[in-house]
Structure 1
Amino acid sequence: MIVNESVLSLGISLIALFFAGFLATKVNQSLTAVFIVVGMILQNFFPVTIITEFIATLGIIFMLFMFGLEFSVGSLVNNQRKIFFNGVYDLLFNFPLGMFLGWILGYDLIQTLLFAGIIYVTSSVIVAKSIIDLKRSANPETEYILNILIFEDMFIAAFLACIVGVVNYGHIDTKGMLLVMLKTAAFFLFFIILSRTAKKIIDKVVDIEHTELFIILILSIIVLSAGAASQIGLSEAIGAFLAGLLLSETRQRHRISEAIKPFQQFSTAIFFVTFGMSIDYKHAGSLIPIGIFIFVVSSFSKVFGGYFVGKKYALSKRACLRLGFSLIPRGEFSIILAGTIAMNTNVPYPVKSLTGVYVLLSAILGSILMKESDWFVKNFFESKGKEFQPLGRHSAKD
């Protein structure tokens, strides 16, 4: 009976997601924000069930796997200097700001670290999709945006592993933190060495013609990697990410992506709905003012940091500002950080609810700001006497 009710609630969730998502695509709006809102509405009709909770966990695992699959150890090594410096500038502008905001909100040390990660990390999904939709792939700033996103995803993956490990250890002290860092480093190193030294063997293993068996094998690699990470006290997500990194070096990379994408899209949608269902929207309403304040402050920080990175590489003012505006949207990783660890609710601003408000604002308004960045540059940052030219007429540095 419980299973039947769970299946029915899952069916209702899916049909609600379809209609809401269909409307969102018509107005060119972020699906992440829409799916969270659907979850907030559905909590009035039925609770989170064991099935939706399990699928939501798979959503995190598949999402991180697909991120890992997008990277290549070889390309990371070749572009490591540029990725590192672009990413570090972005980190220095935004992570300490999150720490400061967490401190003034009254969070303890672990909550403050988590909140800093939530504020810091840009949504790769929203930004990458927007770059494609807006036809900005050839823009001069796009390379630097992607470098920053790569660094952020790598940093947050390691950060997530560390923070989960620290919580599992029980408290923060030198011994506990060192143990977590060593385990995380060893886990990363194992997968990276495996991907570099056993590339031909892995290629042979995953080169299976039979589609059904191919999918089963890839799913087993993902789930086993996630389970192994969990067994040593790290997040399942980091295991999935490293499995993606491992398979990104194979000739079957594109086929793997096409095979896993439907699982990832389905389970990720349920993950966002489940997160929305965990938000006390009545309580969240009172968090809107503080959410707006944090959104404004963190958006200025992202724009200023992006502008600084652009100027370091001699981009035009217009390209620098487009770079900064492109880093505003927050989404999947912010929600993973807020939802992975059960937080103490006896604080003035519960992390989950505040993150829900913040992600909704940044996903919706951030997408709009990114889309209209040229309009903002023209009307607010450039002198009125200066002719504003379409993107197609810009110089190479524009």
Structure 2
Amino acid sequence: MHSSAVFLIEFGAIILGLGLLGRFAGRFSFSPIPLYLLAGLAFGEGGLLPLGTSEDFVAIGAEIGVVLLLLMLGLEYTASDLVSNLKTQYPAGLVDAALNALPGAAMALLLGWGPVAAVVLAGVTWISSSGVIAKVLGDLGRLGNRETPVILSILVLEDLAMAVYLPIVTALVAGAGLASGSVTLAIALGAAALVLMVAVRYGRLISRFVSSDDPEKLLLVVLGLTLLVAGLAQQLQVSAAVGAFLVGIALSGEVAEGAHNLLSPLRDLFAAVFFVFFGLHTDPASIPPVLLPALALALVTAVTKIATGYWAAGRAGISTKGRWRAGGTLVARGEFSIVIAGLAVTAGIEPSLGPLATAYVLILVIVGPLTARFTEPVATRLTAVVRRRAATPPPEAEAEGAPEPAGRGPRP
């Protein structure tokens, strides 16, 4: 009975604190995600007041939060939108991998960590945070923007690439042979292809099965189906986020609209819990020794992500402002980066890799919502300043081109 009371007190305090932080952020018109993360740091390992009994529940709530974030993203688009975007945006996925994975690999090699750690750190810097970006797009009211499908296409390509990358990394860190690694990879690819095929071909049948005039029944069926598919996807070495996203893609019409309205409050609740959970498992004392390399890596890969989004949006015919918004939105790293680093840490590949990855993700998960909001206006102002300076001739040129004063003849 005592532990139950402590759990209720702790979890209630977490939810109340998140609500107050969200109101504070809303008053100043910025995303509450950085505040949620800092709250997690304050009450996690090595923090001011570590939590006890509610930590396991928070961990489950965090997983549900990521699943709901990606489900809600999927509800915004149809299966045909997904297929067409993937066909047109796959070059952007290749550019994304090249620009953002190479800095991580180079940093690991410069630090002398070896090739396996280089492959791991490449994944940490490559993958943007679908969870953070989904939340930011909703907070900023950009889900209907023209550049948003480009952003989602890149995120989906990254998540699908994880179906290939994660089995490879798992085999590398475990020292598995070629045969066992190939089997794991084949299972992951087959599962991802199956889920995608079902979503595209049988989306209407799924919508009919889920459809209900009773909001309670609709909520239960959609939520249950999403968690079931996400769990099966993860069991088959495919991201649970990919499974949830494809469930959202499969639902369409009135079903998608009704599910969106019903699930929005749940998404906001569990998404906030996810960001707190991320901070809870970070020991602040492990960050200072690796802060400088993490800052350098964060700076480089923030620029490369902005360049990726700008280029991809330009290919899609998006305006210059939209290109900057797309680039700034992609900067945040999060859940996948921590999962990738965790594989190496568990296998004992490199002791410093975990703290470096944590510091790197914390920097960009805080900076990401800020770049999403301010990259476009800052770039627009700087462009205007450069244009004004280019259009204004220097004082020397004005003096040389000025006419002689009236009434004076030529100088002797």
TM-score range, shorter chain: 0.7 to 0.9
Match of 2:199 among 191, 195, 201: 195
- Give the Cα separation in 1 of the matches to 2:322 and 2:95: 14
The worse-fitting range, judged by mean Cα deviation, of 203-212 and 363-372 is 363-372
Q: How big is the shift at 1:39?
A: 0.6
Letter paired with 1:201: L
1:25 aligns with 2:30: no
Match of 1:372 among 374, 378, 394: 378
In structure 1, the residue matched to 2:60 is 54
Q: TM-score, normalised by structure 2?
A: 0.78
1:243 aligns with 2:247: yes
In structure 2, the residue matched to 1:179 is 183
Report the CA distance shift for 1:127/1:372 in structure 2 as closer, same or farther (over 3 A): farther
1:283 aligns with 2:289: no
Task: Give SS of 1:343's match.
Answer: helix
The worse-fitting range, judged by mean Cα deviation, of 300-309 and 43-52 is 300-309
Structure 2 unaligned runs (5+)?
393-412
User: For residues 307-348 of structure 1, what are the alpha-carbon distances to aligned partners after superposition, in whole Å with 9 as ceiling and x for unaligned?
Assistant: 5556667888x5597257525530455566468757347523
- Give the Cα separation in 1 of the matches to 2:313 and 2:240: 35
1:128 aligns with 2:137: yes
Kindly indicate whether the alpha-carbon contact (under 8 Å) linking 2:294 and 2:359 is maintained by their aligned counterparts in 1: no
Q: How big is the shift at 1:237?
A: 3.2
In structure 2, the residue matched to 1:392 is none
- Give the Cα separation in 1 of the matches to 2:181 and 2:162: 13
- Give the Cα separation in 1 of the matches to 2:216 and 2:134: 28
- Give the Cα separation in 2 of the matches to 1:80 and 1:279: 35
Task: Give SS of 1:47's match.
Answer: coil
Q: How big is the shift at 1:225?
A: 1.0
In structure 2, the residue matched to 1:219 is 223
- Give the Cα separation in 2 of the matches to 1:285 and 1:364: 23
Match of 1:267 among 270, 273, 278: 270
In structure 2, the residue matched to 1:385 is 390
In structure 1, the residue matched to 2:398 is none
Report the CA distance shift for 1:37/1:202 in structure 2 as closer, same or farther (over 3 A): same
Report the CA distance shift for 1:10/1:371 in structure 2 as closer, same or farther (over 3 A): farther
Q: How big is the shift at 1:215?
A: 1.2
User: For residues 142-174 of structure 1, what are the alpha-carbon distances to aligned partners after superposition, in whole Å with 9 as ceiling and x for unaligned?
Assistant: 53x642x22322123223344544566644543
Match of 2:213 among 202, 209, 215: 209
- Give the Cα separation in 1 of the matches to 2:14 and 2:93: 37
Letter paired with 1:42: F
Q: How big is the shift at 1:266?
A: 0.9
- Give the Cα separation in 2 of the matches to 1:300 and 1:96: 13
Kindly indicate whether the alpha-carbon contact (under 8 Å) linking 1:335 and 1:356 is maintained by their aligned counterparts in 2: no
The worse-fitting range, judged by mean Cα deviation, of 211-220 and 40-49 is 40-49
Structure 1 unaligned runs (5+)?
388-398
Letter paired with 2:41: M
1:152 aligns with 2:154: yes
Kindly indicate whether the alpha-carbon contact (under 8 Å) linking 1:334 and 1:359 is maintained by their aligned counterparts in 2: no
- Give the Cα separation in 2 of the matches to 1:259 and 1:232: 29
Kindly indicate whether the alpha-carbon contact (under 8 Å) linking 2:324 and 2:375 is maintained by their aligned counterparts in 1: no
Kindly indicate whether the alpha-carbon contact (under 8 Å) linking 2:338 and 2:358 is maintained by their aligned counterparts in 1: no
The worse-fitting range, judged by mean Cα deviation, of 212-221 and 365-374 is 365-374
- Give the Cα separation in 2 of the matches to 1:86 and 1:365: 20
Q: How big is the shift at 1:64?
A: 2.8
- Give the Cα separation in 1 of the matches to 2:341 and 2:66: 10
* RMSD, aligned α-carbons: 3.4
Match of 1:322 among 321, 324, 327: 324
- Give the Cα separation in 2 of the matches to 1:246 and 1:108: 42
Number of equivalences? 377
Matches within 5 A, 1:33-112: 33-43=34-44, 44-47=48-51, 49-105=55-111, 112=118
Among the aligned pairs, what percent are the same residue? 17
Letter paired with 2:73: F
